[in-house]
């Protein structure tokens, strides 16, 4: 009952003509961002944060706009997976396995409708799950002291590093680089400058938005120049859109199972949407009677991963809002958004600023309905936009990145730093070092150190205090397991190879 009353309050804030307009714009832009190869949800939200901030939107409007973009990008990723066999973003990778074969059999329209509805089911149920579980988790999080928070941050880094990458050492290195960058600036406790080398611009530390836009968007430009836009989109043809009711009914089980798996994967820190869609697909395949048709255009192979990745996107918001610990790259970017808006996620957010939480949830529900309407009847609009060539898109992205940072800070120094992060991102990508832990390190570094130092103040310098409560010990064990278990599991869970791209699609 309390949940419903809260939700009604959220809707009363979120439903104004202006926020509805923002939700529609956000969904539209988000779907485009998701659909365009090379621009994922993290990039998209990262690019738009500085811009929405410079536009002077208030906290709730900015949240509505950017969470709509976030959900929209999750919907949009499937479009290019199905039509071009190029995942629009990483979580949509599994959708290519059956989506593209369906498109080749002339069932592109059916695949798009099924995946659109699956996205809706996954995201809707996950948002309801968020409403139910988040307040509960927030109550547990009340008991967290500095030692528990420190262990929780370790858990986030360890699971992200363990599950999200192929090489533990590289993930640990990436996290440490991020933490090291977070140390730059004035030390909060003593007020002494650290690692500023007398540079005034560094006194406030490195702005995480500069790092995010550089690592995600600018690095992408270097990568595209090198690959000569090989993966660029080209003209796509699509027949009439009819709703295939029978196919929807047939795949409804796959959608629900995918949603459940995806939601759980999303709640776990570090797992995120890519793992959600992967597990949903593998589970659906191993449970199905017609295993052989998976990979050859089975609609269930489209429904399960799409429901899974959208449910994971909702699930990932649970730890982000209640604990302030993001579960994936994109939620890390959303955390950056909240921090930019001066909203500190955590258990207190639910009691002190319930209007933020519940209007966010209400706007997620609104965004979902808008997205269903956009992604099923209006899908052709997005297919047209997909044919924007890379030689217009990428320079555009670069310029938007610069404008965002420039209008936020107005300093050449920050733009140079952004380019520097772009180079770092390019090199790291070449070396197969994940960049998400860097972002997480920059975002969480100061809070992590702060909690460590507060714990030591409480215990008077006794380091065993970090392991003194059952919750903390549990978190440490989970952290170690999350970091080490993938070493052994990796052999069992080999990702299936992507079908090779049709060479005829690669001209220009």
Partner 1 sequence: MIRGDRIFGAVMIVVALGYILSASSIQTSFMSDPVGPRIFPYMIAAVVILSSLVMVLRPDPDQDWPAGPMVAQLGLALAVLVGYAYAITPLGFILPTTIAAGVISWQIGGNPRRAAIAGLGLAVGLFVLFRVILGLGLKGLPAGMGF
Binding residues vs partner 1 (CB under 8 A):
51, 54-55, 166-167, 169-170, 172-173, 175-177, 179-180, 183, 187, 189-195, 197, 218, 221-222, 224-226, 228-229, 232, 389-392, 394-396, 398-400, 402-403, 406-407, 410, 412, 415-416, 418-419, 422-423, 426-427, 430-433, 448-449, 452-453, 456-457, 460-461, 508
Reference 413, options 200, 219, 216; nearest CA is: 200
**In whole angstroms, what is the distance from residue 211 CA to residue 465 CA?**
34
| Cβ at position 504, least distance to partner 1 in Å | 19
* CA angle (168, 169, 174) in 5-degree steps: 100
Least spacing, CB of residue 445 vs partner 1, in Å: 8
CB of 378 to partner 1, least distance (A): 22
Contact 67, 27 (CB under 8 A): no
Q: Minimum Å distance from CB 333 to partner 1?
A: 20
**Is 164 or 314 the residue whose CB approaches partner 1 more closely?**
164
Listed residue (273, 243, 28) closest to 115, CA to CA: 243
CB of 48 to partner 1, least distance (A): 11
Beta bridge partners, 194, equal: 185
- For partner 1, the closer of residues 36 and 102 by Cβ is 36
Own/partner pairs, 232-235, CB within 8 angstroms, 24+ separation:
232/37, 232/389, 232/390, 232/391, 232/393, 232/508, 233/36, 233/37, 233/80, 233/84, 233/86, 233/386, 233/387, 233/388, 233/389, 233/390, 234/84, 234/387, 234/389, 234/505, 234/507, 234/508, 235/387
**Measured from the CB atom, is 20 or 456 closer to partner 1?**
456
d(CA 286, CA 283): 5
Work out how close the CB of 459 gets to partner 1 at its nearest, in angstroms, rounded to a whole number: 8
Q: Which is nearer to partner 1, 104 or 194 (CB)?
A: 194
Minimum distance between the CB of residue 110 and partner 1, rounded to whole angstroms?
34
Q: How near is the Cβ of 85 to partner 1 at its closest, in Å? A: 21
Integer angstrom CA distances of residue 47 from 26, 86, 388, 496: 13, 22, 19, 32
Q: How far apart are CA 447 and CA 185, in angstroms?
A: 14
**CA separation for the pair 122, 313 (Å, rounded):** 9
Q: Which is nearer to partner 1, 7 or 423 (CB)?
A: 423
Considering only CA atoms, which of 446, 434, 468, 426 is closest in space to residue 344? 446
């Amino acid at each position: 009952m309390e949940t419903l009353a809260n939700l009604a309050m959220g809707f009363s804030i979120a439903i104004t003509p202006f926020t509805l307009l923002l939700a529609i714009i956000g969904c539209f832009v988000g779907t485009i961002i998701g659909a365009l190869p090379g621009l994922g949800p993290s990039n998209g939200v990262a690019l738009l944060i500085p811009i929405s901030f410079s536009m002077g939107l208030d906290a709730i409007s900015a949240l509505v706009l950017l969470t709509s973009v976030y959900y929209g990008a999750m919907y949009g990723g499937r479009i290019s997976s199905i039509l071009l066999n190029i995942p629009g973003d990483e979580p949509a990778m599994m959708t290519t396995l059956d989506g593209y074969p369906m498109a080749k059999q002339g069932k592109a329209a059916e695949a798009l409708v099924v995946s659109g509805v699956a996205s809706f089911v996954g995201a809707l149920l996950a948002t309801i799950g968020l409403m139910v579980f988040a307040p509960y988790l927030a109550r547990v999080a009340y008991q967290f002291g500095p030692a528990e928070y420190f262990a929780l941050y370790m858990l986030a880094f360890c699971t992200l590093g363990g599950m999200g990458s192929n090489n533990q050492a590289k993930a640990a290195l990436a996290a440490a680089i991020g933490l090291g960058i977070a140390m730059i600036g004035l030390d909060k406790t003593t007020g002494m400058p650290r690692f500023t080398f007398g540079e005034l611009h560094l006194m406030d530390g490195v702005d995480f938005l500069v790092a995010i836009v550089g690592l995600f968007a600018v690095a992408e430009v270097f990568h595209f120049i090198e690959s000569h836009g090989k993966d660029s989109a080209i003209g796509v043809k699509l027949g009439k859109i009819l709703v295939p009711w029978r196919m929807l009914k047939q795949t409804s089980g796959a959608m629900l199972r995918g949603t459940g798996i995806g939601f759980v994967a999303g709640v776990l820190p570090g797992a995120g949407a890519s793992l959600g869609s992967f597990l949903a697909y593998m589970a659906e395949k191993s449970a199905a009677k017609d295993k052989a048709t998976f990979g050859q255009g089975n609609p269930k192979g489209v429904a399960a991963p799409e429901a899974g990745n959208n449910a994971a996107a909702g699930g990932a918001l649970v730890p982000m809002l209640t604990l302030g610990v993001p579960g994936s790259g994109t939620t890390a970017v959303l955390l950056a958004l909240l921090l930019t808006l001066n909203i500190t996620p955590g258990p207190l957010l639910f009691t002190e600023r319930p209007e933020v939480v519940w209007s966010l949830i209400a706007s997620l529900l609104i965004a979902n309905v808008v997205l269903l309407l956009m992604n099923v009847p209006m899908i052709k609009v997005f297919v047209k936009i997909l044919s924007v060539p890379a030689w217009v898109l990428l320079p555009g992205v670069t310029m938007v990145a610069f404008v965002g940072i420039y209008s936020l800070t107005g300093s050449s120094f920050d733009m140079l730093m952004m380019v520097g992060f772009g180079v770092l991102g390019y090199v790291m990508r070449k070396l197969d070092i994940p960049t998400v832990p860097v972002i997480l390190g920059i975002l969480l570094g100061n809070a992590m150190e702060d909690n460590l130092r507060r714990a030591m103040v409480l215990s008077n310098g006794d380091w065993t205090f970090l392991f003194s409560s059952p919750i903390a010990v549990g978190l440490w064990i989970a952290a170690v397991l999350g970091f080490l278990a993938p070493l052994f599991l990796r052999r069992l869970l080999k990702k299936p190879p992507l079908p090779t791209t049709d060479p005829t699609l690669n001209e220009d």
